Structure 1
Amino acid sequence: MVALSQLFSLSLLIVNGLAHPGESIKPDVLRRRHHLNHPERRSLAHCKRDLKESGWMSHQLAKRHARYNELREGAGYAPIAARDSDLSEDLFARQASCTLDPEVTEGPYWVSGELIRHDVRPGVKGDEQGVAVHLDINVIDVSTCQPVTNAYVELWGCNSTGVYTGVVAKGNGDGSASEIDNNSLRGIQPTAENGTASFITVVPGHYVGRTNHLHTIVHHGATELPNNTITGGTISHVGQFYFEDGILGAVEQVNPYATNTQERTPNSADFLLMMGSQGGDNPFVTVRQIGSNVADGYYGTIDVGVNPQAVQTPQAVNRWTANGGIPIPGSMWEGYPWTKKIRSLLGL
């Protein structure tokens, strides 16, 4: 029988530290604290003047306005002549994160070997239903204040009812074994000359212990393979993106989000989000509703500052292959949530 003290320790581990159900966030607290105190820490705020003088900022603002109108016309709405109030230079650098250390954990549901693709909604089991987000992620080198070209941005998140594809784990929906062979809502995109990687995904749903969020990893020096995946290179940034409560409140009222019976954690109660917002960093996606209805979807942008020379070592739980998902032997997330780490704490 497991000692009561061990069970109490486990309960503290789970209740006081939820990065995902059963996952301790203590290591991430320490990494984040080190990041904020690093003497060479730089954010995009340091680059605002350089990016403005180089013309990158004005080009981006014009590009975002044009893209927003393109999406409006595609949804059957008239274009907007004046720039949206969100498309302002004052907003820039308040919506950006920076890296010397991972912003937050990669979590237990990262699957390596994902496909290079713009629209990540399709999967082996069909297209994921949900409110679409046309997301532009702009990557800036905070050491040179220049956009990062030829990097690869990886993006993944749970579906509208809080389930991650590509993994089988207790606490991840019903733990269906078939999900390991599904790859929807996961993908990789290269950054263009302006440092932008573009995706179409859905507003992520929620699950117990976390507010709605997307995961991202930035790769440098990777090689594209004939099978439309990447290999090699280094990882400079591990982060998570969030959405304002007003957006989430509207989205969670429509199906299939409304069918999710799990308790929702608001942004104000998500400890990892609070950590990610410290030190002037802002991990929120700037979002504009495309039409008059939530179902028309959203256009979102976020500017991410990275140090391409930084090397992070996140660990995937599975790897995507032509034959579906394959567990990675020895992964720290193997057997999640009853990982080797938690079992050792229990003396099992």
Structure 2
Amino acid sequence: MVQLSQAVTAAILAIGVFAHPGGNVNKEILRRQAHLDYPERRTVQSCKRDLIESGWVREQHRRREARLHDIRVAAGFAKPGELVRRDVGEVEEEYGVEASCTLDPEATEGPYWVVGELVRQNLLTGEKGAITHLDINVVDTSTCKPVTDAYLEMWGSNSTGVYTGVQARGNGDGGPSSLVSNALRGLQPTSANGTATFITVIPGHYVGRTNHLHTIVHHGATLLPNNTISGGTISHVGQFYIEQNFLNQVEKTAPYNTNTQKHTTNAQDFLFNMGKQGGDDPVMKISLIGSKIEDGLYATIDVGVNPKARRNPAPVNMWTTSGGKPYPNSPWTGYPDTCKNCGFGGRPPTI
């Protein structure tokens, strides 16, 4: 049994923060602390030498430069021959300093995970906001090689802080309208270089949490004829964030500026601050495609996982052709009022 540190215990008892409107983040904080305390924990930084010597860092840097350039050309903000490359030596020197990395889960799946989402790159489904081309590299920290046979799942709230596929008090108006949409949810397989790519939006804020995206890494899953996955194992449950100064600029644009929910900053978000500990950095690197946010964004982040790790997150709903339906015996059912995972009365246990 690992005793929770006095500092974390005091923080949990004192801050009274919420994972989502009306929900307690105690469970999430405890799981993150367990991750930080894990004696065999390895990070992307641990693999820096191997990834550089294998040429992977150089290859990924050049690929990402070319991808951003191609997106800019397609959007009319650059010409095909105008690609200017950064010195690769500088990139290799800096690599691993800012990289999200994990062995145990970084955070909980939260009360709004919907299982059975589609394998697709474009997650927009009509949603508006800061359109983001998101490029995620997944690295096996036990072998220091890219993970090439996984499915990376991604979901987040829309620009005004509402999750699709679920109905709960505090999620928008709490009505059934969001149940019939699967916008901003989906999965992508990792490629030969360990990359999964999505088109989504910068998520909006909601009461008690800063803006963030959720991710789950699946291994050994089977692609079904209906373009969903089944089976396999889960090694990682995490969250990605946005640098605060840039986020402030996003929040000034439409439709983010119509969001009337109270805004929690990164500095005020206890889970964000815990996510920055232990050498981790779950903040995405973001570049403008044009001259302003409204022209679109390109975001990148690297995630370290141990494919042998076994996580058991619980969905609240499952996606069907008629929308989100309750998942049997989900510990999130009744969120934020009566669910099994709604907290433990403010009294953190030992873990």
Output the TM-score relative to the length of structure 2: 0.90
Deviates more, 1:179-188 or 1:71-80: 71-80
Q: Distance in 2 between matches of 1:14 and 1:316?
A: 29
Tell me, yes or no, if the aligned pair for 2:27 and 2:343 is still in contact at 8 Å: no
Deviates more, 1:262-271 or 1:138-147: 262-271
2:153: which partner in 1? 154
Matched, 1:97 2:105: no
Tell me, yes or no, if the aligned pair for 2:26 and 2:343 is still in contact at 8 Å: no
Tell me, yes or no, if the aligned pair for 2:168 and 2:335 is still in contact at 8 Å: yes
Aligned pairs for 1:233-248 (under 5 A) are 233-248=232-247
Residues 61-112 of structure 1 show CA distances to partners (whole Å, capped at 9, x for unaligned) of: 1000001111111221125533358982233212322222210111100000
For structure 2, the 5+ residue unaligned runs are 1-11, 347-351
Tell me, yes or no, if the aligned pair for 1:14 and 1:23 is still in contact at 8 Å: no
Alignment root-mean-square deviation, CA: 2.0
Residues 175-219 of structure 1 show CA distances to partners (whole Å, capped at 9, x for unaligned) of: 120211110000000000000000000011111111110000000
Give the secondary-structure state (helix, strand or coil) at the position aligned to 2:155: strand
Tell me, yes or no, if the aligned pair for 1:13 and 1:22 is still in contact at 8 Å: no
The AA in structure 1 aligned to 2:77 is: Y
Tell me, yes or no, if the aligned pair for 1:120 and 1:199 is still in contact at 8 Å: yes
Q: Distance in 2 between matches of 1:315 and 1:208?
A: 22
Tell me, yes or no, if the aligned pair for 2:221 and 2:231 is still in contact at 8 Å: yes
Tell me, yes or no, if the aligned pair for 1:14 and 1:22 is still in contact at 8 Å: no
- Aligned pair partner of 1:88 in 71, 86, 91: 91
Tell me, yes or no, if the aligned pair for 1:152 and 1:190 is still in contact at 8 Å: yes
Q: Distance in 1 between matches of 2:177 and 2:135?
A: 31
Matched, 1:118 2:117: no
Matched, 1:16 2:16: yes
C-alpha spacing 1:343/1:52, structure 2 compared with 1 (3 Å) = closer
Give the secondary-structure state (helix, strand or coil) at the position aligned to 2:103: coil
Tell me, yes or no, if the aligned pair for 2:103 and 2:304 is still in contact at 8 Å: no
Tell me, yes or no, if the aligned pair for 1:19 and 1:105 is still in contact at 8 Å: no
Aligned pairs for 1:1-348 (under 5 A) are 16-78=16-78, 80-83=82-85, 88-122=91-125, 127-341=126-340
Q: Distance in 2 between matches of 1:338 and 1:326?
A: 19
The AA in structure 1 aligned to 2:167 is: V
The AA in structure 2 aligned to 1:57 is: V
The AA in structure 2 aligned to 1:187 is: G
Tell me, yes or no, if the aligned pair for 1:14 and 1:24 is still in contact at 8 Å: no
Output the TM-score relative to the length of structure 1: 0.91
Deviates more, 1:20-29 or 1:43-52: 20-29
Q: Distance in 1 between matches of 2:100 and 2:320?
A: 32
The AA in structure 2 aligned to 1:23 is: G
Q: Distance in 1 between matches of 2:334 and 2:95?
A: 41
The AA in structure 2 aligned to 1:180 is: L
Task: Count residues with an aligned counterpart.
Answer: 331
C-alpha spacing 1:343/1:69, structure 2 compared with 1 (3 Å) = closer
Tell me, yes or no, if the aligned pair for 1:13 and 1:23 is still in contact at 8 Å: no
C-alpha spacing 1:315/1:257, structure 2 compared with 1 (3 Å) = same
Give the secondary-structure state (helix, strand or coil) at the position aligned to 1:63: helix
Q: Distance in 1 between matches of 2:159 and 2:94?
A: 29
Residues 17-54 of structure 1 show CA distances to partners (whole Å, capped at 9, x for unaligned) of: 31222222222222222211211110000111101111
For structure 1, the 5+ residue unaligned runs are 1-11
Q: Distance in 1 between matches of 2:70 and 2:232?
A: 35
C-alpha spacing 1:296/1:29, structure 2 compared with 1 (3 Å) = same
Q: Distance in 1 between matches of 2:34 and 2:196?
A: 28
Q: Distance in 1 between matches of 2:339 and 2:45?
A: 41
Residues 130-172 of structure 1 show CA distances to partners (whole Å, capped at 9, x for unaligned) of: 1111001100000000000120000000000000000000111
